[in-house]
Structure 1
């Protein structure tokens, strides 16, 4: 039987969390994009997979679900093609409520995204803060593209068309900027096609499989019908984690044989925690709520082929500690491994580790 633990072991291995060192070119999670959210975002996700790349070799883009993701810079044109909506219905789903005024005005959503992208290309000729870009677009685009924002007490573009149009315009994000800074990708040209490894459906099935069609659709913010239409021909249906799921045929043996059980401190938005089958990762509802709260997500301790607890960084003055809440007994060997990962996190942040503090 392929149970939940076996699924986590498989994902741990294909996402390369069990390797000590690796090359950027061979880092599989970059095919789907590595989400950049919080201080322990994309660069920490790469670090725990044994790679510390030069940031110049990466590009940050607003892509899937409008979230910022890091990719290999050499892939930027192909990524733009791979993450583009497949149809107007797909685009409408991805932009959420922004599709309603566009539809009422008779403007197809794909056409709207292209219109926003064209204006962005004209506006962003140098690094510009998002607010400045938004102001310029507000002045240039008609009413169906805009909404009243209560929090800003101002009228500006709907958020998702703004974000999804940026990559169409050939704009990248300055890494680690808040508020975000956009700038043109040097020599950008969207590719006419893209390699199989960048196909988001295939990449999800490979890295987060076995999965259902609905889970892939939720991850992409796409309609289930669209995902079914782009389902890989070499995907096979199997019984895993108590239900019928799909995996690429070439990955089935790796799933059945997976035995990866490293100890890692995963960032709150690490890909291993981003799959849409949270019950497979954490069966207990109370623990799931603690790992995925609405605000202030903790990191997860990966150990023994499962999510074994939570962790949070704590910095006060010169003190940097890592607080750990174990969900099971951590013996001496596991605590030693957690301490080694905490040391790695401290070095990544450029501080010295003061202590690892356990809630038990």
Structure 2
């Protein structure tokens, strides 16, 4: 059994996730095998700027027909290759009622109280979304229309909006099955029919679900069933039903973890992570579920992953070496505050400032100002 240390694992993930900038085309990046999360505006473009050698802008990426934005893993918005959205949708069909209920996450109790199974709730909502979303519509308009045709238990009264809405997590999980995508870069959130509007599939596809876990292990491995389950948004027992056969056991940080056998050689001898990158919140590198391995110090973990308002992460020399935030001054200048956990050598600081220029350009700012703290 191969035994590796955490530095070796991080170096392997940096290479696997394309942070060495060896690909010139976004569609060729391995991170799209799993999907690129885009929780806030510009975060996906900044993730690409960290991986592509050429210029990247939110507008050019959002308008690229090779990609589709949709609520997918855990109900979070992800960009996927348009040619693979059918496979992604198949992978998101729950493998059973336990899987369906687990995916409801923070709204399980409301779904349970509705008097329907989680599976029935999911596809009842999906059918309603398919009926309603026949054109481009804001999320609020979709919610209002869907609420009129779903059972009362699947909606709730929102005091802030003074309106009745479909359960938020249910809507996010059901939209892709209802043939709805998200409009990239639209504010407020806006839905539209998927191109070709594929038929709704309710039968589980274990092979597609297993492919998601395998992709997680390729990009975030070595990892455990618990970590894969957390990414998918399901129970560990369900993740074990998705578990691939072609895996190798690896010892890392005193525990057994797994990755595809085909990746063992790459893990054993990864390229040196002698690079500096500014990663946005929810960047794939920060999506690994073993946060204690990524950032061993607990105080620093709390700086990187906050309950509200995550900063970006400064990646230097194979380590999460600090955090960064920005504040726009109109549309003219972007102000950066970069906080290094430990003193950085001058070349690393200079490289971080060059990366800040790339981030500013990706966000459409011609000027920037950098403050180190």
Judged with a 3 Å threshold, the aligned counterparts in structure 2 of structure 1 residues 235 and 155 are, in CA distance, closer, same or farther, namely same
Distance 2:69 2:93 in 1: 16
| Map 1:19-34 → 2, pairs under 5 A | 19-34=21-36
Q: In the alignment, does 2:369 pair up with 1:355?
A: yes
Q: In the alignment, does 2:315 pair up with 1:306?
A: no
- Offset of 1:197 from its aligned partner? 10
**Alignment equivalent of 2:250, drawn from 238, 253, 271:** 238
- Offset of 1:319 from its aligned partner? 3.0
1:158-210 Cα deviation digits (max 9, x unpaired): 11111111000111100122321000012132689698798210111010111
Aligned length: 359
Judged with a 3 Å threshold, the aligned counterparts in structure 2 of structure 1 residues 241 and 188 are, in CA distance, closer, same or farther, namely farther
Structure 1 match to 2:356: 342
Judged with a 3 Å threshold, the aligned counterparts in structure 2 of structure 1 residues 100 and 250 are, in CA distance, closer, same or farther, namely same
- Offset of 1:95 from its aligned partner? 1.1
**Alignment equivalent of 1:9, drawn from 11, 21, 43:** 11
Q: In the alignment, does 2:271 pair up with 1:259?
A: yes
Structure 2 match to 1:181: 190
- Offset of 1:104 from its aligned partner? 5.5
Structure 2 match to 1:169: 178
1:194-250 Cα deviation digits (max 9, x unpaired): 987982101110101111111111111111111011111111221113321111111
- TM-score, normalised on structure 2? 0.90
Tell me if the contact between 2:125 and 2:171 (Cα under 8 Å) persists in the aligned partners. Answer: yes
Tell me if the contact between 1:300 and 1:311 (Cα under 8 Å) persists in the aligned partners. Answer: yes
Judged with a 3 Å threshold, the aligned counterparts in structure 2 of structure 1 residues 333 and 197 are, in CA distance, closer, same or farther, namely farther
Judged with a 3 Å threshold, the aligned counterparts in structure 2 of structure 1 residues 196 and 295 are, in CA distance, closer, same or farther, namely same
| Map 1:97-116 → 2, pairs under 5 A | 98-100=107-109, 102-103=111-112, 107-116=116-125
- In structure 1, the gaps of 5 or more residues are none
- Offset of 1:150 from its aligned partner? 4.3
Judged with a 3 Å threshold, the aligned counterparts in structure 2 of structure 1 residues 154 and 324 are, in CA distance, closer, same or farther, namely same
Judged with a 3 Å threshold, the aligned counterparts in structure 2 of structure 1 residues 101 and 290 are, in CA distance, closer, same or farther, namely closer
**Alignment equivalent of 1:75, drawn from 84, 89, 94:** 84
- TM-score, normalised on structure 1? 0.93
Judged with a 3 Å threshold, the aligned counterparts in structure 2 of structure 1 residues 174 and 349 are, in CA distance, closer, same or farther, namely same
Judged with a 3 Å threshold, the aligned counterparts in structure 2 of structure 1 residues 75 and 48 are, in CA distance, closer, same or farther, namely same
Runs (4+) of structure 1 exceeding 6 A deviation are 191-198
1:49-91 Cα deviation digits (max 9, x unpaired): 1174552221001011111000111212121112222222101
Tell me if the contact between 1:63 and 1:83 (Cα under 8 Å) persists in the aligned partners. Answer: yes
- Offset of 1:299 from its aligned partner? 0.5
Aligned with 1:81: secondary structure?
helix
Aligned with 1:79: secondary structure?
helix
Distance 1:314 1:157 in 2: 34
| Map 1:132-281 → 2, pairs under 5 A | 132-189=141-198, 199-261=211-273, 262-281=275-294
Structure 2 match to 1:59: 68
Distance 2:208 2:72 in 1: 18
Judged with a 3 Å threshold, the aligned counterparts in structure 2 of structure 1 residues 307 and 99 are, in CA distance, closer, same or farther, namely closer
Structure 1 match to 2:94: 85
Deviates more, 1:64-73 or 1:190-199: 190-199
Judged with a 3 Å threshold, the aligned counterparts in structure 2 of structure 1 residues 338 and 104 are, in CA distance, closer, same or farther, namely closer
